[in-house]
Amino acid sequence: MIPPALLALLWSFTAPSSALAVGDLYKLRGVSGREVRFRPGTEADVRPIQVTMLSMKMNPLGIQHERFIVAEDASSGSRVGFGQIRPFGSPRTASSGRTGFELASVWVDPEWRRGGVASELVQRLLSLHGTTGTRATDVHLLTLATTSSFYERLGFAVVDRSSVPATMQLEFAAGSVITRALNEQLVCMRYVAPPAPSQ
């Protein structure tokens, strides 16, 4: 296990300046006086992340804090959002195209939504992922069709059911059954390009 102080130090050397700097502040769009600090996840984040994910009907298993970026209220230090990019597949299945990465567990406290926190989290995760020597186009995600437009604005595109990575097909099939029972539709998306600059 990597001690949190060492993890923060490693991030400060590996994160590109345009991505995550430890203690980096982000001023919320359209909200006066509220700032968010982004930091790497720590062991202390695991239980609260699991509890939040379970309450939101998200899969709380297999949480590894090293994969997370956490957003916190800059004034109080309270956790207001988080997200991760996790690997799926394994190195021994790489030749069969069964490895890649999943953007997952993206959550922002309802009181902090609509200020750009989730967009900033996703962009920072993708930027940090790019420092690992892997291609951002290896990143997929599963989401509800009703939320897919959010991810489209960030450079993701819905993929055909036949293009769902082999290692995500079971999760996609099970999730599709559950979402249909809730009168929703699950879609798989792949990162295809960075978002166009805002004008």
Q: Does pLDDT of 79 surpass 70?
A: yes
Q: Give residue-wise pLDDT tens across range 24-60.
A: 666 666 555 688 999 999 999 999 999 999 888 777 8
pLDDT for the residue 15: 41
Q: Compute φ and ψ for 132, nearest 5 degrees.
A: -90, 0
Residue 103 DSSP SS3: strand
Q: Give residue-wise pLDDT tens across range 154-183.
A: 999 999 999 999 888 998 999 899 889 989
Q: Give residue-wise pLDDT tens across range 95-114.
A: 444 568 999 999 999 999 98
Q: Give residue-wise pLDDT tens across range 105-156.
A: 999 999 999 889 999 999 999 988 877 766 666 899 999 999 999 999 999 9
List residues bridging with 50 in a β-sheet.
none
Whole-angstrom Cα distance, residue 10 to residue 23?
Answer: 13
Dihedral angle of Cα 92, 95, 97, 100, to the nearest 10 degrees: 50
Which sequence spans correspond to the domains of the chain?
A: 4-191
pLDDT for the residue 140: 94
Stretch 9-29: mean pLDDT: 47
Alpha-carbon 46 to chain mean position: 15
Whole-angstrom Cα distance, residue 82 to residue 72?
Answer: 9
Q: Which fold has domain 4-191?
A: Aminopeptidase (3.40.630)
pLDDT: which is higher, 17 or 166? 166
pLDDT for the residue 19: 41
Residue 146 DSSP SS3: helix
pLDDT for the residue 43: 94
Q: Which residue has the tokens 């699991």?
A: 50
